[in-house]
Amino acid sequence: MTQLKTQMQQQIQINDLAKDIEIIKDNHLVHMAEDIDQLKANVKDNRDHFNGRMDRLDNRIFWVLGLTVSTLVSIIASMVV
C-alpha cells in the first residue's frame, strides 16, 4: 500500500513539473523573446546615434587638422618670402 501511495505522489509531482514546464515555455520564453527583440532595437538605435556623433567628431578633427596645416604653410611661406 505504501508503495502505491509513493508512486501516486511521484506521479502527482511529475504532473506538477510538467505543468510548470509548459507554463515556462508558454509565458516566460515568449516574454524573453520580446525583451530580446526590444534590446536589439535599442542597441541599433544607440549605434546609429553614436555613429552620427563620431562622424561629426571626425569632421571637427579634420577641420582642426586642416587649419593647423594651412597655418603652418602660411608661416613657412612668410619666412621664405
pLDDT in tens, 3-58: 888 888 888 899 999 998 888 877 777 788 888 999 998 888 888 889 889 999 99
- 69 has pLDDT over 90: yes
**Tell me, what DSSP letter sits at residue 1?**
-
Dump strand ranges (E) for the chain.
none
- Angle, vertex CA 56, rays to CA 50 and CA 59, nearest 5: 140
Q: Is the pTM of this model over 0.85?
A: no
Give the per-residue pLDDT at 76: 94
